[in-house]
Structure 1
């Protein structure tokens, strides 16, 4: 299926998301923050089908990561996750570069369905 870079500073959630998406055959690479994720993106030359990142993280938040990633890899599909209403409002300014913003908490079924929809939309 797809290669997905999963970025979240909470290890249990990061692992759960990667496992859940792996159930659909996706290959997930994980990063603990935006800076680590950007290093991975550069090392992998942006060869991911989806960047799935939390917004609120230390070092480099998901919005800064989305902006940097899209600048270097314009074809990259980006999806954000957040549990904070104010972060969701900040993400509205990124509608041109972000395909979807998921509100935490979400079920694995909701995540899998949304990721599938976003990936299908980016291919089609």
Structure 2
């Protein structure tokens, strides 16, 4: 199964997503913001199959994280999450580096499907 790094500043969202993804047998690691997630990626030498990150976070947002992660780890698949339409628009130009943007709120089944789809796209 896959290793998934989840970055979200809301603890309840991190836990929900981690539990949902673990239901499919994936190993999850969580981070409270983009800066912490980037530290984990560097420490683990990019050893994740998927980065699942919220866009709107303090310290380093998900778009800055996605850009840095893709620069340092070009094979990493990235999935963004947001509950804000303006943030979704900001992500629309990132199609080259981001697999998809999942709109919050979502059902557990929706995030599991999005993760499965992103992992299947890895070729």
- TM-score category, normalised to shorter length: over 0.9
Structure 1: give runs of 5+ residues left out of the alignment. none
Structure 2: give runs of 5+ residues left out of the alignment. none
Q: Which runs of 4+ in 1 moved over 2 A?
A: none
What CA deviation, in whole Å up to 9, does each residue of 1:38-77 have, x standing for no partner?
0000000001000000000000000000000000001110
Take 2:36 and 2:83, find their aligned partners in 1: how far apart are those partners? 21
Aligned alpha-carbon RMSD (Å)? 0.5
State the TM-score, normalized to the length of structure 1: 0.98
What CA deviation, in whole Å up to 9, does each residue of 1:10-64 have, x standing for no partner?
0011011001100000000000000000000000000100000000000000000
Write the mapping of 1:1-124 to structure 2, written as runs, cut at 5 A. Answer: 1-122=1-122, 124=123
Take 1:89 and 1:39, find their aligned partners in 2: how far apart are those partners? 27
Number of corresponding residues: 123
